[in-house]
Homo-oligomer: A and B are copies of this chain.
Amino acid sequence: MATVTRLPHPDMSEVRLTDVLFALSDPARLEIVRELADGPLSMAECGATNPALPKSTKSHLMKVLREAGVVRNEPDGRRRVLSLRRAELDETFPGLLDSVLGSAPPTTPANRDG
């Protein structure tokens, strides 16, 4: 019976700006988003910055990002592919992602995000 491999994703119409901002307001989550900005990654590939992170923790971070409408999480064999919902976000919150991703990445003068 109806297995659950397909996780629920909010429609953009029910995504609130504050939820997106909250999802991006955590350094670990923001780092993940930065990684995904270059293209989809599997769970295992993702989080290069934080290799020691327990998988349950990483899974939880992803859940927050997913429920906020920031990230898509789709099954692919026995892996899962994470991807930024960039086009949809750009349409719903124009310029937001660009400005967040454009702002002072990790290794910057004052390390502004992390």
Contact = CB atoms under 8 A, between A and B. Distances in A.
Interface of A: 13-19, 21-22, 24-27, 30, 92-96, 98-100, 102-104, 109-114
Contacts of A21: 21-22, 24-25, 30, 100
Contacts of A109: 13
Taken together, the copies of this chain in the complex come to 2
A25 B22 contact: yes
A110 to B, nearest CB: 5
Nearest to A31: B18
Given A17-B112, A18-B24, A21-B24, 18 more contacts: A16-B112, A16-B113, A16-B114, A17-B100, A17-B113, A18-B30, A18-B113, A18-B114, A19-B25, A19-B114, A21-B25, A22-B22, A92-B104, A93-B99, A93-B103, A93-B104, A95-B95, A95-B98
